[in-house]
Structure 1
Amino acid sequence: MKIEAIETLRLDDHPNLLWVRVRTDEGLTGLGETYFGAGRCEADIHDRIAPILLGQDASRIEFLNMKMQPYTGFTGSGAEVRALAAVDVALWDLAGKAAGRPLCDLLGGRTRESIQVYNTCAGPNYVSKTSAVRPDNFGTASGAAGSPAGSPAGSPAGRQTHEDLEAFLHHPEELAASLMEMGIFSMKIWPLDLAAGAADGMDISTADLKKGVAPFEKIRAAHGDKMRLKAELHGLWSLNAAKKIAAALEPLDMDWIEDPVWMDRTREVAELARATRAPLAGGETLASLGQFEALINDGNIGTPILDVVWAGGVTAARKVAALAEARSRPISFHDCSGPVTLAVSTHLALSLRNVREQEIARGFYYAWYQDFVDQLPPIKNGMITVPDGPGLGMDLVPGLETRADATYRISKT
């Protein structure tokens, strides 16, 4: 099964997303994806990776992953590693299609048939125009980037939308109730990103701290302990500020506090872990095995988080999951990016024993995710499983490359 072509596709309407298709001489095609820096990843795939892969046996995934490892940029989730990750996912999709089996069944089989989800409370236009994770790119109705609330970019009129970021800022208890009606009892929000101190992260005022904690308090007051609460801090804060925030959140019985400081500063992560009773999670912006080993062993992180399409693909994700399991830690797979990311993460979540939940963003899932693939991982009563079919169980809908806003490239033998 020789690789004869590598295709990439990105759309101006969703400029952060890049899809990759690896075609073989046997007529099979594998699908991959990455997110952020789409143009840079595209260039790396065609300029550096394609000459390595064309003519190679697509089934030699570990070997090809090794060959794709860059000399520079290998320690983080830069463009080179994200490009590698997208191709690695496509190779695993190919392996499943060649075997006629779902990917999770190739990864040791299923430890469960479905897994519970937690909702990252983003709206459909969250971080949709650039890679900047900051309030002016949150895609809210109050002047941020993206389409107006209720009309996600590229989505058909009349489709139900979930403006969950607006909801957690203005009526978080109602948001929690709507999630529980869908069988979802775990949610993540980030109101502290809007604090004035988040601009440099050095400190947070008492007033901003109270305002940022208020949405969590409102959910607890309305629903008690029915909802598991996660706080996302996006690595914005200094260690001293993070300690203040953790102390304020502790009485609310947090499920975890995510990325309170930069996750490569493992001494700071470890010091914060010693200073708070609240569990810590994070790591989605890391990539190398060494970084995750340090985060788990030196940083004493409670739940390492890995983004499959940022951190080296399925090949890397399985190894990091083993590192976590060796220290009796769960691992969590990030999804606030694209439909292929959710699918491959769900396959991993079903196959690995140390995954507790799979992240979703229902604001994406029920809006534009379904515009680009022929089927999504089904969600029912707060549980997600993999689509029917071999490999990932999904393909891009036909004709995307002919759109007026499409950039399509192909490298072939």
Structure 2
Amino acid sequence: MKITEVETLYTEEFSNVIWVRVHTDAGVTGLGETFFGPGSVTAHVHEVLAHKLLGRDPLAIEAINREMVYAALGFSSSGAEMRAASAVDIALWDLFGKVCNLPVHQMLGGLSHQRLRIYNTCANPRYAQARNFRPVDNWASGQGDARYADLDGFMHRAGELAEDLLASGITAMKIWPFDPPAMENDGRYITTDQLKLALEPFEKIRKAVGDRIEIMVELHSLWNLPTAKQIARALEPFQPTWFEDPIRMNSPQALAEFARSTPISVCASEVLATRFPYKDLLDRDATHVVMVDIGWCGGLTEARKIAALADTYHRPFAAHDCVGPVAFAAGVHASFSQPNTLIQESVRAYYNGWYKDLVTATPRIEGGYVYPMEGPGLGTELRPEVFDRGDLVRKVSRV
């Protein structure tokens, strides 16, 4: 079996979500996905990676991954080259599972769990649709299904949102109310009034539901170290589960200083790629929960190595998801295959909304738990309607 075509696709409506399809002369096709920067990602796929893939055995996943990862000039970052390599790698695992008629989690070693607890990342339905998707105040509650306008919810009705999540069985939530002052002040400082305003969602949540729900704090690497420590001290009375990416992920020493300053766990980081920067963090006790994005870190091949590395340091693994439906499925497969998986990120505004417009199946989520995907490979495909969309951008490299 040989690779005969490498195809990229994205839609103008959801342009941050980029798919890669790897075709073979046996008629088996693998589907992968990454997120953000469609022009640069697709250029790297066709100008660089296609030459490494066409004519190759698609089941030589480890060898191909190594070549692709070392072709990424940013190597330890999740730049366009690494995102492209990640999407291809996911597609190769999907293809491998289809050839063997087994789900990807089985190909990765089998189920380590029968179900996994989820937390809800409180995004609005269209949070990741535009190219500039970080600012909290850019996303009106009217975008998409108002029932899942969870970003607007945590900013204005946090207590009600926590009660609603608990009613559906979800016992953990992630919020980021510190983003607006970070963007206003370039992350250099936070005023007393800004700090009080950002603390209000935590006060409302604890007043409404007490400690029945966990709160993960996303800081998006927007703060300098002194201000991040200041924010952490202010949040400690609310007992959050973790502080995620409090500073930029380019200094293990600085992150270790932050970790030593607070009794709350540090989670890092969706923006890192390959296992090597994670080792630097783990060697310095700079992170307690190891998070990866499957579509950014080097794919499933690298993600399982990162999870195993975390396990050697007795650290839990957590797969990131605030991206697209195929990467979410890949993340769920990875999570079920790893014994040290702590919890699975999910976005109910997505899996109850636009994910269903793009793929044939999404992971089953019930009562606050996610269950293993069924079927060969990833267990999902692009819906036929995607290929008929007028805003579809498609490119193919062939032998």
Q: Give TM-score scaled by structure 1 length.
A: 0.94
Match of 2:362 among 360, 373, 376: 376
- Give the partner amino acid of 2:17: L
Matches of 1:16 and 1:91 in 2, distance apart? 21
Matches of 2:359 and 2:197 in 1, distance apart? 40
- Give the partner amino acid of 1:243: K
2:148 is paired with a residue of what secondary structure? coil
Residue 394 of structure 1 corresponds to 380
1:109 to partner: Cα distance = 0.8
Counterpart check, 1:192 vs 2:157: no
Residue 100 of structure 1 corresponds to 101
- Conservation of the 8 A alpha-carbon contact between 2:182 and 2:222: no
1:196 to partner: Cα distance = 5.9
- Give the partner amino acid of 2:21: R
- Conservation of the 8 A alpha-carbon contact between 2:104 and 2:333: yes
1:289 to partner: Cα distance = 1.9
Q: Once superposed, which parts of structure 1, at least 4 consecutive aligned residues long, lie more than 4 Å away?
A: none
Equivalences for 1:10-409 in 2 at 5 Å?
10-69=10-69, 70=71, 72-135=73-136, 138-141=138-141, 149=142, 151-152=143-144, 161-195=147-181, 198-409=184-395
Identity of aligned residues (%): 42
2:15 is paired with a residue of what secondary structure? strand
- Give the partner amino acid of 2:365: I
1:393 is paired with a residue of what secondary structure? coil
- Give the partner amino acid of 2:196: K
Distance change in 2, residues 1:374/1:335 (3 Å): same
- Give the partner amino acid of 1:103: V
1:184-230 CA-partner distances (Å, limit 9, x unpaired)? 00000011112266531111111111111111111111111100111
- Give the partner amino acid of 1:23: H
- Give the partner amino acid of 1:404: G
- Conservation of the 8 A alpha-carbon contact between 2:229 and 2:258: yes
- Conservation of the 8 A alpha-carbon contact between 2:89 and 2:301: yes
1:160 to partner: Cα distance = 6.8
1:135 to partner: Cα distance = 3.5
Stretches of structure 1 that go unaligned for 5 or more consecutive residues are: 142-148, 153-158
- Conservation of the 8 A alpha-carbon contact between 2:136 and 2:177: no
Q: Give TM-score scaled by structure 2 length.
A: 0.97
- Conservation of the 8 A alpha-carbon contact between 1:120 and 1:336: yes
- Conservation of the 8 A alpha-carbon contact between 2:363 and 2:371: yes
* CA-atom RMSD in angstroms: 1.4
1:161 to partner: Cα distance = 4.0
1:131 to partner: Cα distance = 4.2
Matches of 1:364 and 1:285 in 2, distance apart? 21
1:230-287 CA-partner distances (Å, limit 9, x unpaired)? 1111011111101110001111111001111112221111111111111111211111
Matches of 1:161 and 1:323 in 2, distance apart? 39
1:270-307 CA-partner distances (Å, limit 9, x unpaired)? 11111111111121111132211112222520112110
- Give the partner amino acid of 2:33: E
1:106 to partner: Cα distance = 1.2
- Conservation of the 8 A alpha-carbon contact between 2:136 and 2:151: no
